[in-house]
Homo-oligomer: A and B are copies of this chain.
Amino acid sequence: VSRVAVLLPAGGSGTRMGGACKPLLDLAGETILSRCMRPFLDRADVEWLVVALPAAALEEPPAWLPADPRVRLVKGGPERMASVRLALEAVPDEADVIVVHDAARPLVTADVIDRCIAAAAAGRSVLAAVPVTDTIQEIDDGGAVVATPDRSRLRAAQTPQAFPAGVLRDAHARAALGEEIATDDAGLVSRFGGRVHVVDGSPANIKITTPVDLLLAEAILADRR
């Protein structure tokens, strides 16, 4: 059985949500962050769950944080990838699978997590992803359409993203020398020549970015009940 560490970068300020720290917002009676943590803490193979929080939230850790010895809090960085790196530093060497999950995807379900961890335990770097439902157009600087990529080849990236621990550590160690070169960990691993595969995510595993997303999340939760 793999020893799994989960990283939840929740350090951002969420300018599109009025400046609040999104993961600390309430969603149907429970914070978004707490909803992101629970399905991971439900797994016996998850031994560490590192949450990168804004400095202000760290000074006075929220009372609702699960009193689980596996949870560690660290200070987040200025960007998502910096927060991931800081969280990664808090993961012990014994971890052999590392999972990164957006702290703004509270509707992630056990089956998606399971597919990601199973693949990483088998040595693959993976991200959850879903087919793209819109036609995607590529435009130039003037807003003219220059290409319409074949939609059947496109996937919208979600999280979790899961990696054999050494692969993720190595990618971050190499990136540390330069500037920001990828927007997520799958991109980072791929950037250094690592092969990354997609596994099936879920259309309901949405990222809460705007107030409309919060409405959708509430509707999905109401529908699940």
Which B-chain residue is minimally distant from A194 (CB atoms)?
Answer: B145
- Contact residue among B129, B156, B197, B219 (Cβ-Cβ distance under 8 Å from A216): B219
Identical chains in the assembly: 2
Mostly helix, strand, loop or mixed at chain A's interface?
mixed
Q: Is the CB of A145 within 8 A of B203?
A: no
Q: Is the CB of A139 within 8 A of B153?
A: yes
Q: Is the CB of B148 within 8 A of A136?
A: no
Q: Is the CB of A138 within 8 A of B154?
A: yes
Which chain A residues (193-222) contact chain B, with CB distance < 8 Å? Answer: 195-199, 203-204, 207, 209-212, 215-216, 218-220, 222
Q: Is the CB of B157 within 8 A of A198?
A: no
Q: Is the CB of A145 within 8 A of B196?
A: yes
Does A123 touch B at the CB level, under 8 Å?
A: no
A140 to B152, CA, bound (A): 10
Which residues of A are in contact with B by a Cβ distance under 8 Å?
A: 127, 129, 132-140, 142-145, 148-149, 151, 153-158, 183-184, 186-187, 190, 195-199, 203-204, 207, 209-212, 215-216, 218-220, 222-223
